[in-house]
Amino acid sequence: MLECFVRATSLFAVIAWRILYTTLLARLDGDLPCEVILQRVEWQVLAEYIEPPGHRTRCRRCTRRYNGLWIATLGGTWNCLHDPPPGATVIWRGFLVLHEIT
């Protein structure tokens, strides 16, 4: 029984770290590549889902800031001008949607 608890806690710790790390990086400015947050397949699917090929109006570069905002958009934020930066719950919901579409 204890082994199952340790395995589950280890898995949840990795997931929680990824969500909090993405939340922190989405709030910071910078031009690090998106591979810091996402794998290649994930950011390609995310870019195609958020911006279909005929509607490329946003930044075309794959940066962590845009990916953090795109994940938050999947999580339910509207990304309005006066909204606070997305929190961990919104990023978590966005990751759930991202894994479903990936």
Distance CA 64, CA 29 (A): 9
- pLDDT tens-digit series, residues 27-64: 886 567 788 888 889 988 888 888 777 665 555 556 76
pLDDT given at position 76: 92
Strand partners, 63: 33
Distance CA 50, CA 77 (A): 13
Residue 99: is its pLDDT beyond 80? yes
Instruction: Supply the Cα-derived Rg of the chain in whole angstroms.
Output: 15
pTM of the model: 0.82
Nearest to 33 by CA among 1, 11, 66: 66
CATH architecture, range 2-101: Orthogonal Bundle (1.10)
For a pLDDT cut of 90, what percent of the chain falls above it?
37
Phi, psi (degrees; rounded to nearest 5) at 67: -65, -40
